[in-house]
């Protein structure tokens, strides 16, 4: 892929990340639409982080992971990633657009299955994502969910690797990543992604971050206490036994008791429903509210 920055025109802002703004862009000659994410490489640590993200994007080739179609250096020394455009935004923006009302179980089952397939692929490539959360799960109008944003991901050299560092969004971090001493250093690094997925599914069902009362903006210590020592919230009586069990398997504080991605793909919550039914439920969810305009128009 021999792309140049001048081959693309900006259409609008899709979102803002830590690294910079993400634009929707159009290829001037083919008309193809992409998302362009610029990563600012202003210091050596950041450079290393970017090269890791690019390295991971180049290695991944799965329908369940947002594709990277090119890596273009910018005149200012930054890096522009040309990504597959996901036209329905993130699960986070989807949730906000619905006024954070509860997502139905069949739709969540379809969603969980797709994310588990993505994680299964990544883990088979020795990649731990480490930042699974609603904002990093992107959706398109075909009803596909894909994993995005490898800014803090790791390629594991061996499966037991104490990859402890305070990167990523603390809110979705598993207990063992906060407190490796009490959980042993030889925990399974892949299990952290399962925790984050469980929390994400539960959040979409409850409509708010599950481990804290709605509306609370916690400091770091409160969050850590809630994650490492807090009880799971009471689930509404209306939830099915399969849903309850699925969430409990994902949100085991002891990572060795947490189910693996392979086990969860066979869990009755995910596997019990006809695939077409849960996929249909998820597609309906996407088409429910007429998508409000996200982002703002920028000059072409």
Per CB under 6 A, which region of 9-17, 44-52, 95-103, 105-113 contacts ligand ADP?
A: 9-17
DSSP per residue, 51-99: HHHHHHHHH---TTB--EEEEEE-TTS-EEEEEE--TT-BHHHHHHHTT
Helix (H, G, I), strand (E, B), or coil: what is residue 196?
helix
Closest approach of ligand ADP to the CB of residue 20, in Å: 7
Choice between 23 and 259, CB closer to ligand ADP: 23
How many Cβ atoms are within 10 Å of 272's Cβ, its own excluded? 13
Is residue 81 close enough to count as binding ligand ADP by CB under 6 A? no
Residue 90's CB is within 10 A of a number of other CB atoms, namely 22
C-beta atoms surrounding 239 within 10 Å: 16
Q: In the complex, what is the shortest distance from the CB of residue 43 to ligand ADP, in angstroms, rounded to a whole number?
A: 16
- The rounded distance, in Å, linking the Cα atoms of 144 and 244 is 25
Shortest Å distance, C-beta 259 to ligand ADP = 27
- CB of 153 within 8 A of CB of 53? yes
Site string for ligand ADP, 112-151 (x = CB under 6 A): -----------------------xx-x---------xx-x
- The answer to the question of residue 211 lying near ligand ADP (CB under 6 A) is no
Provide the β-strand partners of residue 68: 83
Residue 234 CB, nearest approach to ligand ADP (Å) = 30
Of 148-167, binders to ligand ADP (CB under 6 A) are 148-149, 151
Tell me: does residue 198 bind ligand ADP (CB under 6 A).
Answer: no
User: Contacting ligand ADP (CB under 6 A), which of 11, 14, 147, 273?
Assistant: 14
Residue number, 148 or 226, with CB nearest to ligand ADP? 148
Of residues 83, 82, 84, 61, the one with CA closest to residue 3: 82
Catalytic residue list contains 131 = yes
Look at residues 72, 200, 59 and name the one whose alpha carbon lies nearest to residue 121: 59
Residue that has been written with the tokens 């400091």 in this structure: 219
Options 54-62, 89-97, 180-188, 218-226: segment touching ligand ADP (CB under 6 A): 89-97
| Residue 230 is a binding residue for ligand ADP (CB under 6 A) | no
Of 130, 137, 203, 139, the C-alpha closest to 169 is 130
Length of the chain: 300
Count, residues near ligand ADP per rule CB under 6 A? 22
**Residue 37 annotated in ligand binding:** yes
Please list every residue from 257 through 276 that binds ligand ADP, using CB under 6 A. Answer: none
We find the least distance from the C-beta atom of residue 291 to ligand ADP, in angstroms, to be 12
Q: SS3 of 247, please?
A: helix
> Could you give the string, one character per residue 21-60, with x where binding to ligand ADP holds by CB under 6 A and - elsewhere?
-x------------x-x-----------------------
Q: Cβ distance 283 to 275 under 8 Å?
A: no
CB 135 within 8 A of CB 94: no
Among 131, 161, 188, 279, the active-site one is 131
Query: From the CA atom positions of the chain, what is the Rg in Å?
Result: 19
Which positions are catalytic? 131
Q: Which residues are annotated as a binding site?
A: 37
Residues of this chain that interact with ligand ADP (CB under 6 A) are 14-15, 17-19, 22, 35, 37, 66, 83-86, 89-90, 93, 135-136, 138, 148-149, 151
């Amino acid at each position: 892929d021999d792309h140049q920055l001048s081959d693309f025109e900006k259409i609008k802002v899709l979102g803002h990340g830590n690294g910079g703004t993400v634009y929707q862009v159009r290829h001037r000659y083919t008309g193809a639409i992409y998302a362009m994410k610029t990563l600012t490489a202003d210091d050596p640590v950041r450079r290393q982080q970017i090269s890791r993200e690019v390295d991971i994007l180049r290695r991944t080739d799965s329908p369940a992971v947002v594709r990277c179609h090119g890596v273009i250096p910018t005149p200012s020394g930054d890096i522009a990633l040309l990504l597959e455009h996901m036209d329905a935004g993130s699960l986070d923006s989807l949730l906000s657009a619905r006024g954070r009302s509860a997502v139905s179980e069949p739709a969540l089952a379809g969603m969980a299955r797709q994310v588990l397939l993505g994680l299964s692929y990544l883990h088979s490539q020795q990649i731990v994502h480490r930042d699974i959360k609603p904002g990093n799960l992107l959706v398109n109008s075909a009803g596909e969910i894909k994993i995005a944003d490898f800014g803090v991901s790791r390629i594991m050299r061996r499966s037991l690797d104490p990859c402890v560092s305070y990167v990523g969004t603390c809110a979705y971090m598993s207990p063992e990543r906060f407190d490796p001493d009490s959980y042993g250093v030889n925990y399974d690094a892949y299990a952290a992604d399962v925790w984050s997925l469980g929390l994400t599914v539960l959040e979409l069902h409850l409509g708010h971050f599950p481990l804290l009362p709605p509306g609370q903006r916690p400091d770091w210590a409160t969050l850590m206490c809630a994650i490492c020592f807090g009880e799971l919230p009471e689930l509404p009586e209306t939830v099915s036994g399969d849903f309850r069990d699925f969430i409990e398997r994902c949100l085991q504080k002891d990572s060795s008791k947490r189910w693996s991605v392979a086990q969860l793909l066979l869990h009755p919550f995910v596997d019990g429903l006809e695939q077409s039914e849960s996929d249909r439920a998820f597609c309906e969810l996407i088409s429910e509210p007429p998508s409000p305009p996200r982002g703002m128009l920028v000059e072409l």
